A and B are shown apart, each in its own frame.
Chain A
Amino acid sequence: MAIELGRWSRALALAGALPATLGCAASSGAGSEQAPADSAPVVPVLTGMHRLNSTEYNATVRDTLGTRLQPASSSWRGGELGGFDNIASQLGVDEAQYDRYFRAAQALATDVMASDSLRAAFIDCDLAHAPCVEASLRRVGRRLFRRPLEPDELESYRRVYDAALALGDDATSAFQLTLVAVLSSVQFLYRIELDPLPEAAETHSLSSYELASRLSYFLWSSAPDEALLDAAADGSLLQDDGLAAAVERMLGPADVGDIGAAGDAKAWRFVESFAGQWLGERQVPSHASPAWSAREARAAAQEMLYYFNDFLQSERSWLEFPTADFNYVNGELPFLYDMPVPDVFGSPPPDDWTSTEQFRRVQDAQDQRAGFFGLAGFLALTSFDRRTSPSKRGKWIAGNMLCAEPPPPAQVLPSLETEASNAPGLSPLAVRQRLEEHRKNPACASCHALFDPYGLAIEHFDPIGRYRDNYDDGSPIDAVGLAEISQQVAEDPRFAPCLAHKLLTYALGHVVSDADEQLLAPIVDTWLAPDQAPSLRRLIRTIVASKAFRYRRGAR
């Protein structure tokens, strides 16, 4: 496509060259071949008791108990910071939430004990024999507490069992009550990492079981499976190669070909939880518009995840994220994209191909669309429901892709959005002109100049991501173009470090701040060392191998 070099190209170039003074800092050592010395001192973040969030709770009970019950819902108490809902500091508990846990524990225990097959995973002997109760409890404890039970713990749950027998319960009911106790315990509901001494603040490595939990909640949003617990038990997880092998196993093999059906794998939870939040998949709005009902919105949102997953399931360079020319479409999206019926739906396509729910990877090199910023989900996410908002799109790109969240307006400013909404008689062109006026105000310009150009460059895409040459009123669109801006973002020195920032935040459940730069910089340096492509998988490997991930320190 022809790229129009509008008057914003210079501003763009400027924006790209700006030092990263906002948000997360770019690594000065990007591209360095030198891996950080292993002895480099790092101060791990303070990670406190970490309550399972609703996603993690449901995944954990499914994986550990085999139940189909998913008790946690969006109405359970959550908490978010820095764009993620797994931040330890935000996950407090209160009476109402503990009441939900207590009720859920009863429902789960009932469900498990009522099923022969679920029960058999823990109880393979006759509970009438005392050693069987203990052996079964040990099995339950290892899975649910993600480590072996300590003697005192075993004793306390044993007492619950005995108390139930004393009340006249049979062995199965008594074990069910014991399971309620385990599922209501702090050791199950929280991930708790301990220091050698309560008041010790020294940096030390995690225990193998603590590391297994960090890893599995990072990549699976769930508890370690048997294999991971075994690797913790025999200590192999504490070895570099053992840890790396665990990561590869948990993510699944790279380059598996058609990954459209990856949705069943546990690693898909990482896609849903990390990318779903960071890329805004959960926030894609649906409008009353017939071209953008809940179905289209859902499909476009899902495509964002599949697009991200393509990078997770390959060693493709992350730097291609803004520019890669492929889409994932189900039957809903080709129409929106004005795309010929893709071959992947069959040749010739069946009559009902538009109701195909499965997503297929397609490539169309002829259209004007490529890269993440060409996805309908992104374009709708960053629009108002009746018009595009260059500021909203630009601010999203700067904040989420470059970690350059602009500082908030500092004083009373006329709000652009209030003045220049789609009031009757105000054309989109007028919006653009108002935006320019807004930017002429020096107080506004300093910020808007940083992000508006990204949004203005992609005005060719309407509020639901359809390509257009003109605004609704017929006025022509004058925009730099998607390809140009995507390339600009990919080459921005802040782009790759921004992923590392977001991913480390998610991995640790702690919002990485300026003070944590000493943790982030070595990770970025190692990841971007030019011996291999800087893939998403490589970054995950780098983070997991880092001291930031494998060490902790206590809070005095």
Chain B
Amino acid sequence: MKRRTVLRAAGVALTLPFFESLVPRPLRAQAVAGPRRFLPIYLPNGAHEFWRPPSAGRGDAWQLSSILEPFGAALKPKLTVVSNLENASVFSADAVYLENSHGRLGGAWLTCVDAKAVRAALGLEEANGVSVDQVMAAHAAFKGISPLDSLQLGLSTPLGNCDAEPCSSSRSVSWASATQPLYKVVDPLEVFNQLVSVAGPADATSTSGIEAQKRYARNQSVLDAVLENAQRIRKRLGSGDRPRMDEFLDSVRAVERKATGVSNGMGRAGCLAMPQDLGSVDVSGAPRQNTEAYDKGAHADAMNELIALAFQCDLTRIISLMLEDERSEFTYDHVKLRTFTDAQTGSVEKDSGATCSEYHAAQHEAAGDDFATITWWNVGKVAELCQSLDAIEESPGVSVLDNTVVFLGACMHGSNHNGDQLPVALVGGGNLGLAGDQHVVLEARPLRDLYFTLLNDVFGLGIDDFGQNVKGAPPAKLAELLKT
């Protein structure tokens, strides 16, 4: 009884006006400090060679590559392409190629840790390091600042091959702890429900409505029984099983906060508008290609719209998005094949009307334009998302995109499965200190240096270390990315 009273009081206290009270203290001097956001976007299976812009430099010295062409002239000033980052030094001092490359490199993409070594050290069948987005989400600058500390989304179809690794390595890029992969939500309707559940009703008076209070009370009574029984069983479990039970208890408590009206009441629902046709994206059948019920383009569009909504309404500041699971075998027969000749002249749709093949097979087919076209299509969906984020003005002359670091990358180079020369593009973040409009070509540097730079020099979190490097080099700043 006491607990409920306290929580309800907290719910009232959390009814805050939009934005003003929620903007974190400026961590660096900024002209206009807005919310700082991070949006890592995972491109599976590497990128086609024509990703890399032919020339390096800033401004007019570099041009968009054929694959990155969808970003267009409007976003080029906010785009940074980084070449020669590698994540192989997490695993090996010399080899850039390793097997099982999809699963292992995928698992290390945001963690820069060898999951296999963590599993061996902990004696577990599923483990990894904490991912960079979750290091941020757990930091005081983000934790509890917005209704959701982070969100994990995906457009994948869950039938890919996991490359003999635990599937969490291929299907989750965000890890909250060594043992907690954060599974992404792929159903747009579910994402919307999640956003609504934390946004709270637009009309604050309805939270105190009798019906709402009754609903909360019913939920509370159900979850009280669930928690009570789980705790009773927990006492009878050996220490080996308790972490699993604790994970269950934590999940119930998180749902409890929303189902009993504690975490909502921020009154932002007025900001949320149901995107069009959300419910018509049917992801339930584990589609492997477009069907009558499933349209990948519509799926991507709906998710893009939800991401823009979540940011615009400040429901979360950290979202990881997987365009597909690693080693995706989705058949891209909804995309017309294009002819790519080189990295600079762009591409044109083929007259034949032929469509793209299966993603993973295409990755391995060095000849043919399937891989390039699929990469291009996925980049196009990211570009559209960036365009919509850039179209939302947050303060005079500053868009949501300017307050967001969009990081588009892959865990492997391309058709060769190597863990070096990773495709990396940063979009936006101009208001957070990213210089933009450049193609930075590094002497091979570890991927964790990018994260280290983002954590400390862009988000100002004061993190000493991140990830592993078997060569022993400490993490270092990539000053090239920053405004001087």
What residues of chain A lie closer than 8 Å to B152, measured between beta carbons?
96
Q: How far is the CA of A237 from the CA of B119 in the complex (A)?
A: 37
* Minimal Cβ-Cβ distance residue in A for B182: A94
Q: How long is the Cα–Cα vector from A215 to B159 in the complex, in angstroms? A: 27
Whether B239 and A556, one on each chain, are in contact in the complex, defined by CB atoms closer than 8 angstroms, is yes
Closest Cβ of chain B: how far from A424's Cβ, in Å? 7
Contact across chains for A194 and B237 when beta carbons are under 8 A apart: yes
Q: Select one of A75, A156, A384, A421 contacting B187, CB under 8 A.
A: A75
Total contacts A to B, CB within 8 angstroms? 224
Is the C-beta of B164 less than 8 angstroms from some C-beta in chain A?
Answer: yes
In whole angstroms, what is the CA distance A189 to B236 when docked? 17
- B349 near A: Cβ within 8 Å? no
- A283-321 toward B: CB 8 Å interface, digit per residue (1/0)? 101111000001000000000000000000000000000
Q: Tell me the smallest distance from the CB of B72 to a CB of chain A, in Å.
A: 30
Q: Does B73 make an interface contact (CB < 8 A)?
A: no
* Nearest CB in chain B: distance from A93 CB, A: 5
A465: Cβ under 8 A from any B Cβ: no
Nearest A residue to B170, CB-CB = A80
Q: Which residue of B lies closest to A553 (CB)?
A: B238
Q: Are A79 and B167 closer than 8 Å at their CB atoms?
A: yes
CB nearest neighbor in B for A399: B164
Given contacts A92-B244, A156-B225, A554-B240, contact A80 B233 (CB under 8 A): no
Interface size on A, residues (CB 8 A): 80
Q: Are A99 and B255 in contact (CB under 8 A)?
A: yes
Stretch at the interface among B78-86, B362-370, B387-395: B362-370
Bound CA–CA A152/B231 (angstroms): 12
The interface bits of chain B over 272-291 (1 if a CB of A lies within 8 angstroms of the residue's CB, else 0) are 00000000000111101101
CA distance in complex: A421, B360 (Å): 13
- Cβ of A184 and Cβ of B222 under 8 Å apart? yes
List residues of A (63-122) whose CB comes within 8 Å of B's CBs: 73-75, 77-81, 87, 89-90, 92-100, 102
Within 8 Å by CB of A186, from B217, B230, B255, lies B230
Residue in contact with B239 in the complex, picked from A167, A168, A555, CB distance below 8 Å? A555
A195 to B236, CA, bound (A): 8
**Residue in A152, A164, A423 whose beta carbon sits within 8 Å of that of B221 in the complex:** A164
Q: Does A385 contact B (CB under 8 A)?
A: yes
A415 touches B417 (CB 8 A): yes
Q: Is the C-beta of B248 less than 8 angstroms from some C-beta in chain A? A: yes
CB nearest neighbor in A for B92:
A411
**Across-interface contacts of B418 in A (CB, < 8 A):** 412
Say what secondary structure dominates the interface of chain A: loop
Given A97-B251, A421-B365, are A198 and B236 neighbors across the interface (CB < 8 Å)? yes
C-alpha spacing A190/B245, complex, angstroms: 10
Separation in Å of the B30 CB from the closest CB of chain A? 33
In contact, B286 and A74 (Cβ under 8 angstroms): yes
B366 pairs with A419, CB closer than 8 A: yes
Complex Cα–Cα for A177 and B259 (A): 14
Contacting pair B364 A95 (CB below 8 A): no
Nearest residue in B to A47 (C-beta to C-beta)?
Answer: B241
* Interface residue? A397 (CB, 8 A): no
User: Would you call A153 and B229 a contact (CB within 8 A)?
Assistant: yes
Once A73-B283, A160-B222 are accepted as A-B contacts, the answer to whether A99 and B194 lie under 8 Å apart by CB is yes
**B100 on the interface (CB 8 Å rule)?**
yes
B125 touches A90 (CB 8 A): yes
- Whether a CB of chain B sits under 8 angstroms from the CB of A282 is yes
Taking the complex as formed, is B190 at the interface, i.e. its CB lies under 8 A from any CB of chain A?
Answer: yes
Question: Are B364 and A415 in touch, CB under 8 angstroms?
Answer: yes
Is there a chain A Cβ closer than 8 Å to B124's Cβ?
yes
Q: How far is the CA of A535 from the CA of B361 in the complex (A)?
A: 37
B366 touches A418 (CB 8 A): yes
**Interface assignment of A48: CB less than 8 Å from any CB of chain B:** yes
A177→B226 CA distance, assembly (Å): 12
Instruction: Across the interface, name the chain A residue whose C-beta is closest to B287.
Output: A74
Q: A49-B245, A167-B214, A418-B416 are in contact. Are A200 and B366 (CB under 8 A)?
A: no
Nearest first, the 4 closest Cβ-Cβ pairs linking A and B are A555-B240, A408-B99, A74-B286, A423-B367
Identify 18 new A-B residue pairs, CB closer than 8 A, beyond the known A75-B158, A283-B159: A74-B285, A75-B186, A75-B187, A80-B166, A89-B125, A94-B183, A94-B251, A98-B251, A99-B255, A100-B190, A156-B228, A163-B217, A168-B214, A177-B221, A181-B226, A185-B226, A408-B100, A421-B365
7 A-B pairs (CB sep. < 8 Å): A73-B285, A94-B180, A98-B251, A159-B224, A169-B218, A195-B238, A288-B331
